Structure 1
Amino acid sequence: MVDIHPLVAPWGRFGLRSFFIDAPEPAIVDTGVTESPEGMRAGLEAIGRRIEDVRWILLTHGHIDHVGGAHALWELTGRKAEVVIHRDDAPMLRSREAHVEEWRSGRGRWLTDPEGEAKEEALLRAAISGEMEPTLALEGGEVLDLGGGVRVAAHSIPGHTAGAIAYVVEGSRDVFVGDAVQAYGAASGFPGYEDADKYRASLEFLRDSVKPERLYLGHPYRRADGSPFPEVLDAADALEAIQGSIDNEARIRAAVLPYLANGLRDTDSPYSPFQSVADELGYTGDPTLEPAPFFTTVNAYVNAYVTQLGTTSGARS
């Protein structure tokens, strides 16, 4: 069995979890933000490895805390590493402005503070160490050869983002999913996904088809009681995290859809126009903090259901 080592990169209220796959052609899964790769260097040196020897940079999806350090890490490898991402999230690797546009069309759609918007956009741009083309853009279904018999299968698991990927080490069923399994949220206490139906379908695929023996999450996501899952989840913890994600999506869906059917109404609440949703779910977090996925997730249901329900009243665009 190949050795896998966590590489933790601090980022705001979240601790990003990157991972080192100690194969003949070593890989790092996810890269943190601009300054993260230098911290990874120290982590690798502590286990007798060198960042210059990394030959694969495997990105689970396109958000800044997962791809922001990719260019800097690629440079530290002497530009020798293959930089891998799903083609649907590749624009997030190519362009800082893609992150700004994604924010504006998602959670930023519901925030009305110009000063906060400018601060958020500056944060997004600064978190990206450099714009670049991926050396390999995946569709899902590919198998990557890391040498010495270590092979990693890539599975498309959209929902958190359009291009979310699970990387599965063949033979051991070590599975890296980034943020595609969120259970009951991390520091924010709320899960984040851009497409609720695809998020749920991908979770069911992970539960029923992939069946991880060990599961590696992108952040310290939490159980229903608020306690964090461990750094590496065994098969039982993995099943709990995946099923908890499915159950929590159903809970959120049940709160949001009836509200959308009754029409959106602005209020003075920071959760406007979704105060009733926050109340029903018992959510009391600050929806303006980054990262705060409340509006991202509610916006997913708006995008999917408002038009068909004919309840566009009150929606901001």
Structure 2
Amino acid sequence: MTEPVAVHPLVSPWGRFGLYSFFIDAPEPAIVDTGIASSPAEGMVPALEAIGRRIEDVRWILLTHGHIDHLGGARALWELTERRARVVIHEADAPLLRSRRAHVDQYVAVRQQYIDNPHAVEEQTQAANHVISGEMEPTMLVRGGETLSLGGDVTVSVHHIPGHTAGSVAYVIDGQQSVFVGDAVQIHGAANGFPGYEDPAAYRSSLRYLRDEVRPQHLYLGHPYRGADGVPYGVELDREAARNALQGSMDLEARIDAAVRRYFHAGLRESDSVYSPFAPVAEELGYTGDPTLEPSPFFTTMHGHLTQFNQTS
């Protein structure tokens, strides 16, 4: 590859979060992640027109993982490409593309245990129906290790980086180490102020792999995640900022792991706290955010640590 491939961020506002997709301006253009149902028509079409590109020409839809704000617009985007784009997702997260109900089931399996909201399932169902543009079968399932040709001499390698979800992947533009990770590098979290991941051990391993093996020259994040001071990093990180973000994510995960192990050994205790049964962990870490706000990363992460603790103790 002689000239660097241009990458353009595509932003879609949604609630408290800024949703970011990225346009890879290759001979066979790609969009990484799709926002929600309204994102392709309302955000991507005008953004691409502004740089002289057309959404109809997109040939790859690369999904970093299966969460609602990253694949919600996939069906709508695919339709705007006249169904010519290939839709790529890791096999572990593919059920979330195939079924809206899978998102509700995921809520019931984890967060419903800790959040007292009798209307939660109904609300989750309504959100899935509204935010996900349509259920669909992916064109290509990946496991990590694949190389995708985006035309000419542009290739993208697929790296499995589980932790945030079981099927999280990084897409790397080969030769320039532009790395798209979705939500796999959480730092100190986004608007909720706490990092969210399902599997602590996998998250830790994936961060180390990205830092030591992939070594991004440019790191692209799905949201403007924040540092310890609460200041957003932005979503386009250079080499130094990328390394700081990866190390900061690892450092905070280590602090969380140490705290939960101490309190889990003592036994969980229910209380009136909104953080129950993990209130001592929130107190030690200085977390004062509202843990019930979706996507409620506090409880997702605590549940992951509890599962890991029960499996290893």
Distance in 2 (alpha carbons) for counterparts of 1:121 and 1:224: 34
Instruction: Note if 1:145 corresponds to 2:149.
Output: yes
The one of 125, 138, 148 aligned to 1:134: 138
Distance in 1 (alpha carbons) for counterparts of 2:199 and 2:66: 15
For 1:89, the equivalent position in structure 2 comes to 93
Instruction: Note if 1:122 corresponds to 2:133.
Output: no
Distance in 2 (alpha carbons) for counterparts of 1:299 and 1:55: 38
For 1:108, the equivalent position in structure 2 comes to 112
In the TM superposition, what are the counterparts of 1:186-197 in structure 2 within 5 Å? 186-197=190-201
For 2:167, the equivalent position in structure 1 comes to 163
Distance in 2 (alpha carbons) for counterparts of 1:185 and 1:221: 5
For 1:179, the equivalent position in structure 2 comes to 183
Other structure's SS at 1:79 match: coil
Distance in 2 (alpha carbons) for counterparts of 1:2 and 1:262: 53
Pairwise CA distance, 1:122: 1.9
Give, as a single letter, the amino acid of the residue that structure 2 aligns with 1:124. A
Instruction: Note if 1:10 corresponds to 2:13.
Output: yes
Pairwise CA distance, 1:63: 0.3
Give, as a single letter, the amino acid of the residue that structure 2 aligns with 1:31. T
For 2:223, the equivalent position in structure 1 comes to 219
The one of 64, 67, 74 aligned to 2:68: 64
In the TM superposition, what are the counterparts of 1:235-274 in structure 2 within 5 Å? 235-274=239-278
Pairwise CA distance, 1:275: 1.0
Instruction: Note if 1:231 corresponds to 2:232.
Output: no
Instruction: Note if 1:207 corresponds to 2:214.
Output: no
Distance in 2 (alpha carbons) for counterparts of 1:81 and 1:207: 31
Pairwise CA distance, 1:290: 1.4
Q: Tell me, which stretches of 5 or more residues in structure 1 are unaligned?
A: 310-317
Instruction: Note if 1:51 corresponds to 2:55.
Output: yes
For 1:73, the equivalent position in structure 2 comes to 77
Distance in 1 (alpha carbons) for counterparts of 2:266 and 2:125: 33
Pairwise CA distance, 1:230: 2.7
Instruction: Note if 1:19 corresponds to 2:10.
Output: no
TM-score between both structures, scaled by the size of structure 2: 0.96
Whether contact under 8 Å (1:107, 1:293) holds in the other structure is no
> Which whole-Å deviations, capped at 9, do the CAs of 1:66-106 have from their partners, x for residues lacking one?
01110010001000000000011110100001111111112
TM-score between both structures, scaled by the size of structure 1: 0.95
For 1:314, the equivalent position in structure 2 comes to none
Distance in 2 (alpha carbons) for counterparts of 1:307 and 1:109: 19
Pairwise CA distance, 1:308: 4.3
Whether contact under 8 Å (2:36, 2:69) holds in the other structure is yes
Whether contact under 8 Å (2:91, 2:141) holds in the other structure is yes
Whether contact under 8 Å (1:34, 1:129) holds in the other structure is yes
Distance in 2 (alpha carbons) for counterparts of 1:293 and 1:231: 19
Q: Which is worse superposed, 279-288 or 164-173?
A: 279-288
The one of 276, 286, 293 aligned to 2:290: 286
Distance in 1 (alpha carbons) for counterparts of 2:101 and 2:296: 20
Instruction: Note if 1:295 corresponds to 2:295.
Output: no
Pairwise CA distance, 1:116: 3.5
Q: Tell me, which stretches of 5 or more residues in structure 2 are unaligned?
A: none
Distance in 1 (alpha carbons) for counterparts of 2:169 and 2:201: 16
Instruction: Note if 1:31 corresponds to 2:29.
Output: no
Pairwise CA distance, 1:291: 2.4
Pairwise CA distance, 1:196: 0.1
Other structure's SS at 2:148 match: strand
Other structure's SS at 1:302 match: helix
Pairwise CA distance, 1:115: 2.0
Distance in 2 (alpha carbons) for counterparts of 1:51 and 1:307: 47
Whether contact under 8 Å (1:106, 1:296) holds in the other structure is yes
